[in-house]
Structure 1
Amino acid sequence: MSTTAQVGTDEGGIRLDRWFKRYYPDITHGAVEKLLRTGQVRVDGKRAKASDRLQVGQAIRIPPQLQGKAAEATEPREPTFNDGDKKLIEKLVIYEDQTVFVLNKPSGLATQGGSGITKHMDGMLEALQGKKRQRPRLVHRLDRDTSGVILVARTVPAAATLSEALRHRDARKIYWALVKGVPRPHKGIIKLALAKETGFGRHGKDERMAPADEDDAHAKSAVTYYAVLGTAADQYAWVALKPVTGRTHQLRAHMAAIGTPIVGDFKYGGPAAKGMGELEDRLHLHAHSIDIAHPEGGRLRATASLPPHMVQAWRLFGFDAKRAEDPFEELSAR
Structure 2
Amino acid sequence: MAVEKLYESDNYLIVNKPYDMYINSDDEHEKNTVTYHIASPDSHLSSSLFPLHFVQRLDYATSGVLCIAKNKSSAARAGKLFEQRITKKYYLAVVRGHVTFEVADIEFNVGVDPSTADSSHRMSALITSEASVRCVQSRHAHTRALRLETGYYDNSPVTVLLLKPITGRRHQLRVHCSAVGHTILGDYTYSGTKDSLPHRMFLHATRLILPLPDEDLDIQTPEPFFSDPRFSSKWKSETAYYKYRSKEDFHAVCDILDKSYVIGVQYKIYKM
- Range class of TM-score, shorter chain: 0.7 to 0.9
Q: How does 1:211-226 map to 2 (within 5 A)?
A: 211-212=125-126, 218-226=137-145
* 1:99–1:136 distance in 2 versus 1, CA, 3 Å: same
Q: 1:198–1:205: 8 Å Cα contact kept in structure 2?
A: no
- Aligned equivalent of 1:177, options 90, 93, 96: 93
- Aligned equivalent of 1:209, options 111, 115, 123: 123
Paired letter, 1:249: H
Paired letter, 1:94: L
Q: 1:94–1:102: 8 Å Cα contact kept in structure 2?
A: yes
Asked if residue 154 in structure 1 is aligned to residue 70 in structure 2, the reply is: yes
Cα shift at 1:182:
2.1
Q: How does 1:108-147 map to 2 (within 5 A)?
A: 108-113=20-25, 118-119=30-31, 120-126=33-39, 134-147=50-63
Cα shift at 1:108:
1.1
Paired letter, 1:288: T
The equivalent residue for 1:260 is: 182
* 1:168–1:310 distance in 2 versus 1, CA, 3 Å: farther
* 1:116–1:200 distance in 2 versus 1, CA, 3 Å: farther
* 1:118–1:272 distance in 2 versus 1, CA, 3 Å: closer
Paired letter, 2:228: V
The equivalent residue for 1:196 is: 112
Cα shift at 1:245:
0.8
* 1:175–1:255 distance in 2 versus 1, CA, 3 Å: same
1:197-247 deviations in Å (ceiling 9; x for gaps): 13249xx94431112269866111110000111111581111010001111
Bigger relative CO (Cα 8 Å, ≥ 6 apart): 2
Q: 1:175–1:241: 8 Å Cα contact kept in structure 2?
A: yes
Looking at structure 2, the residues matched to 326 and 115 of structure 1 have their Cα atoms a distance apart, in angstroms, of 42
In the TM superposition, structure 1's runs of 4+ consecutive aligned residues that sit over 6 Å from their partners are none
Cα shift at 1:269:
1.8
Structure that is richer in strand per residue: 2
Q: How does 1:1-334 map to 2 (within 5 A)?
A: 88-89=2-3, 92-113=4-25, 118-119=30-31, 120-126=33-39, 134-200=50-116, 205-212=119-126, 218-232=137-151, 235-270=157-192, 273=195, 280-294=198-212, 296-297=214-215, 299-307=216-224, 311-312=228-229, 313-314=231-232, 316-317=235-236, 321-322=245-246, 323-329=249-255, 331=258
* 1:208–1:127 distance in 2 versus 1, CA, 3 Å: closer
Cα shift at 1:157:
1.6
2:138 alignment partner, SS class: coil
Count the aligned residue pairs: 235
Cα shift at 1:166:
0.7
Q: 2:102–2:146: 8 Å Cα contact kept in structure 1?
A: yes
Paired letter, 2:34: M
Determine which structure has more spread, i.e. the larger CA radius of gyration: 1
* 1:324–1:126 distance in 2 versus 1, CA, 3 Å: closer
Cα shift at 1:95:
1.3
Looking at structure 2, the residues matched to 168 and 192 of structure 1 have their Cα atoms a distance apart, in angstroms, of 20
1:68-102 deviations in Å (ceiling 9; x for gaps): xxxxxxxxxxxxxxxxx9xx44xx10111222211
Structure 2: runs of 5 or more not aligned: 44-48, 261-272
Structure that is richer in helix per residue: 1
Give me the TM-score of the superposition, normalised by structure 1. 0.61
Q: 1:262–1:273: 8 Å Cα contact kept in structure 2?
A: no
Structure 1: runs of 5 or more not aligned: 1-84
Looking at structure 2, the residues matched to 332 and 114 of structure 1 have their Cα atoms a distance apart, in angstroms, of 42
CA RMSD across the alignment: 3.3
Q: 2:105–2:142: 8 Å Cα contact kept in structure 1?
A: yes
Q: 1:180–1:260: 8 Å Cα contact kept in structure 2?
A: yes
Q: 1:200–1:208: 8 Å Cα contact kept in structure 2?
A: yes
Cα shift at 1:137:
2.5
2:113 alignment partner, SS class: strand
Paired letter, 1:178: V
* 1:285–1:220 distance in 2 versus 1, CA, 3 Å: same
Give me the TM-score of the superposition, normalised by structure 2. 0.74
1:270 alignment partner, SS class: coil
Q: 2:127–2:179: 8 Å Cα contact kept in structure 1?
A: no
Identity value in percent: 23
